[in-house]
């Protein structure tokens, strides 16, 4: 395991694949707990977690148990950040429902209203 961490810190792509295989379920469980109903956000967040692990692997110091905890902390905070960004995203509001429900082009609808 320690060699896996060393290989990851040396930016070995095979080591990253092994980390994904070993800890993918663990990361998914953490992310699911925070982002449950939003499946696209879950997948995106999981990808972000492993990207962060890849980018910050040189900052990790410790053993195998610490590595799993480190991954868990990254997953938890990435999921929370994703949740917050989704909450702050402006909601889409339909301003003119009659236009969106009509199959005519917006220009022809406006012309008809002007003529009336």
CATH number assigned to the domain comprising residue 44: 1.10.1740.10
Number of structural domains found in the chain: 1
Q: What is the mean pLDDT of residues 94-99?
A: 56
Q: What is the mean pLDDT of residues 55-70?
A: 90
Residue 39: band (very low, low, confident or very high) from pLDDT cuts 50, 70, 90: confident
Q: What is the mean pLDDT of the chain?
A: 84
For residue 53, pLDDT over 90 is answered with: yes
Residue 27, classed as helix, strand or coil, is: helix
Dihedral sign computed on CA atoms, order 63, 69, 71, 74: negative
Domain with 71, as residue range(s), is 2-115
Q: State the pLDDT at residue 52.
A: 94
The burial of 20, by beta-carbon neighbours within 10 Å (0-12 exposed, 13-18 middle, 19 or more buried), is given as middle
Calculate what percentage of the chain has a pLDDT beyond 90: 46
Give dist(CA 60, CA 19) in Å, integer.
Answer: 14
Q: Please count the residues of the chain.
A: 116
Q: State the pLDDT at residue 93.
A: 58
């Amino acid at each position: 395991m320690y060699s896996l961490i060393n290989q990851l810190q040396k930016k070995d792509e095979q080591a990253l694949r092994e980390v994904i295989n070993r800890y993918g379920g663990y990361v998914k469980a953490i992310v699911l707990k925070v982002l449950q109903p939003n499946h696209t956000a879950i997948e995106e967040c999981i990808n972000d977690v492993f990207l962060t692990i890849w980018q910050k692997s040189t900052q990790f110091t410790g053993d195998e148990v610490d590595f799993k905890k480190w991954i868990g902390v990254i997953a938890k905070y990435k999921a929370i950040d994703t949740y917050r960004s989704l909450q702050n995203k402006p909601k889409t509001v339909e301003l003119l429902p009659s236009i969106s429900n009509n199959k005519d082009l917006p220009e022809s609808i406006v012309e008809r209203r002007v003529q009336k």
